[in-house]
């Protein structure tokens, strides 16, 4: 499995709009075992997204899905930056959806 943990900084005051867009396209993502959108406690414009995929290919593939491309296009103007990005190799636990 392939994991990504990252922080997205929204344009000031636009966090809730961005959270909504990020959650829109989580209906059906092939190869996705977990995709969770959370508000940062330490930054009023920060969002943490944690993702677990079969592998990097599934993650890359998701970026080609039409609904995801559409969401990205609408999200882009609301994004001020990305940081705190970590890659992981998830081993197990609670909340890994079967695929």
Residue among 11, 14, 31, 50 that touches a second copy (CB under 8 A) = 50
Q: Nearest distance from residue 54's CB to a second copy, in Å?
A: 13
Looking at beta carbons only, is 11 or 24 nearer to a second copy? 24
Element (H, E) at 55: none
C-alpha 83/C-alpha 61 separation (Å) is: 22
**Residues 61-90, mask of contacts with a second copy (x by CB under 8 A):** -----------------------x-xxxxx
Supply angle C-alpha 12, 40, 9, rounded to 5: 35
């Amino acid at each position: 499995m392939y994991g990504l943990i990252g922080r997205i900084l929204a344009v000031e005051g636009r966090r809730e709009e961005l959270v909504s867009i990020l959650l829109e396209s989580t209906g059906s993502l092939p190869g996705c075992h977990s995709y969770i959108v959370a508000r940062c406690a330490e930054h009023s414009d920060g969002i943490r997204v944690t993702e677990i995929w079969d592998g990097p290919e599934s993650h890359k593939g998701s970026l080609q899905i039409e609904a995801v491309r559409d969401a990205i296009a609408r999200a882009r103007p609301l994004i001020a930056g990305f940081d705190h990005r970590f890659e992981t190799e998830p081993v197990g636990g609670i909340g890994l959806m079967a695929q």
